[in-house]
Amino acid sequence: MAGTNRNFDGIEEGPAVILVEPQLGENIGMVARAMANFGLIDLRLVAPRDGWPNQKAKATASGAGYVLERVRVFETLAEALSDLTYVVATTARQRDGFKRVLGPVEASANMRARTDAGQSVGILFGRERFGLDNAEISLADDIVTFPVNPAYASLNIAQAVLLMAYEFLKTRDGQAETLPFAGPDFAPAPRAELVGMFDQLETALDVRGYFRPPERKPAQVDNLRAVLSRPGFSTEEIRLLRGVISSLDRTIRAAGRRRLPAKRPPAMAELRDPSVLFFDSGIGGLSVVKEARIILPGLRHIYVADDAAFPYGAWDEAELLDRMTGLFETLIEAFRPGLIVIACNTASTLAIGHLRRAFPDQVFVGTVPAIKPAAERTRSGLVSVLATPGTVRRQYTRDLIRQYAGQCHVRLVGSEHLAELAEDYMRTGFVDEEAVRREIAPCFVEENGRRTDIVVLACTHYPFLANRMRKTAPWPVDWIDTSEAIARRTLTLVEQMQFGPRDFSLPDIAVFTSDDPRTEVMRLASGFGLSTVPFPD
């Protein structure tokens, strides 16, 4: 049915469409066309069988190429759902479990209410041959099924997408009921936080020997996930539950260790303040805080941004060392943190050794370029490290390359402006994509039929621009972000240390050396669960 009119403004909104292991490029193209028909633009592919991009998809998209241009590809379903707060899974088969089953009309109304409230939602579609398995269904909040002929219930994946997209578009002009009063604001947690809690609980139960007999474990895990994903927990509720799990897990592990006491390093034997101080030159280190607050809910988080000196990349090394030493004298005296994380590659590669010598009673965690995992994962042997000019200049960075990536060709790319672009983007929500394209262009190398296939993001600011980098890159690559690895290294150290009990009346805080952070920066910090306080005298 023809009828496209280019004179009208297009509709671009709505839930993400997630296809799990799609097989045929033609089907992906038809899905994109169905999405474009009804104004959806966020298409995510999980491990497409024939890779991506796919020329056959372009052939069947029929004018919906702009949807395909924005496609994001993920290795796992958990990664594809990580930023979503509500997910429905489509299925034609009855499932045993604890999920609500909705029709497309009710599900679409539910998603519309959530998107209007600023939440991120998604619709999950399975493989062409057999749909979604129970483990994948367990990651969704609700199930959607269609009222079709029971003797012929199977829908083509593009048909299923079209039905959901149509029902969602129909809700566009609906009016919400006016009620005499309202309950408290309730923002469901991003899917990444829920999956993190699943993984933590599964690990703790494994240690306890909960899964018996072992062959029943997959079904038991699916049931647990189905139960825990049903309520739509908020971030605060997940943090509370994870604190409970951590407490129980530590007790169980400690009981097992009493028979053979582990010898702790002398510097870690005393009872420490239950807090972690994160330090960065700006607000990029919030990418590390985000991960740390998920896996370390029992500790207080103190974020310090030396925004008065941002960016660090252009500083003289001796002057920067003097500045950081003075700042840490003040910060350690004011907060007495149990652990310090230098959430800045430039500062770590320059100052981590100096700070450890200057403050021997403190435990420091550094941030270094993820060159070792990049060397292990590359297939082409061409790796680029995208960093600030300061990190590129450091001998420490070159030593890492020599130690871990001697068999690879590693290109060091010093970006003059990317950290500032990331800061602007985090504050305003806008970034010049052409400027991003110029900054990342030197990372992409073609040599003797090979192409760069790994780019290391060696600055904690850069992950906030990862989606823009994917969009403007000349070809797909793996972007290695070290934020989660830093948080997990911190967790490893925390498990070896002894902390006093946390006083939960003391909030997680953000401190800025400029003493006059802009309103949008304080609002951003608040979004990460941090209350802004003045820099200590």
Rounded CA separation 36/267 (Å): 60
User: For residue 374, how many C-alpha atoms fall within 13 Å in the half-sphere facing its CB?
Assistant: 34
Rounded CA separation 116/13 (Å): 10
Rounded CA separation 402/409 (Å): 11
Where residue 489 falls (left for φ over 0; alpha for ψ -120 to 50; beta otherwise) is alpha
Torsion 296-302-307-313 (CA) sign = negative
Instruction: Please give the positions annotated as active site.
Output: 344, 459
Rounded CA separation 191/243 (Å): 18
**Residue whose entry in the numeric block shows the structure tokens 């003045």:** 534
Are 49 and 22 in contact, with CB atoms under 8 Å apart?
Answer: yes
Pairing of strands 450-451, 100-102: unpaired
Rounded CA separation 20/49 (Å): 10
**Residue whose entry in the numeric block shows the structure tokens 């992950």:** 463
**Residue whose entry in the numeric block shows the structure tokens 């010598």:** 357
Rounded CA separation 405/383 (Å): 9
**Residue whose entry in the numeric block shows the structure tokens 């199930």:** 143
Q: Which of 246, 224, 236 is nearest to 189 (CA)?
A: 236
User: For residue 299, how many C-alpha atoms fall within 13 Å in the half-sphere facing its CB?
Assistant: 30
Q: Which of 403, 389, 275 is nearest to 332 (CA)?
A: 275
In terms of C-beta density within 10 A (0-12 exposed, 13-18 middle, 19 or more buried), how is residue 243 classed?
Answer: middle
Rounded CA separation 61/41 (Å): 13
For the chain, what is the largest distance between any 2 Cα atoms, rounded to a whole number of angstroms?
A: 76
**Tokens representing residue 187 in the block:** 């923002």
Q: How far is C-alpha 39 from the geometric centre of its chain's CA atoms? A: 26
Rounded CA separation 394/255 (Å): 45
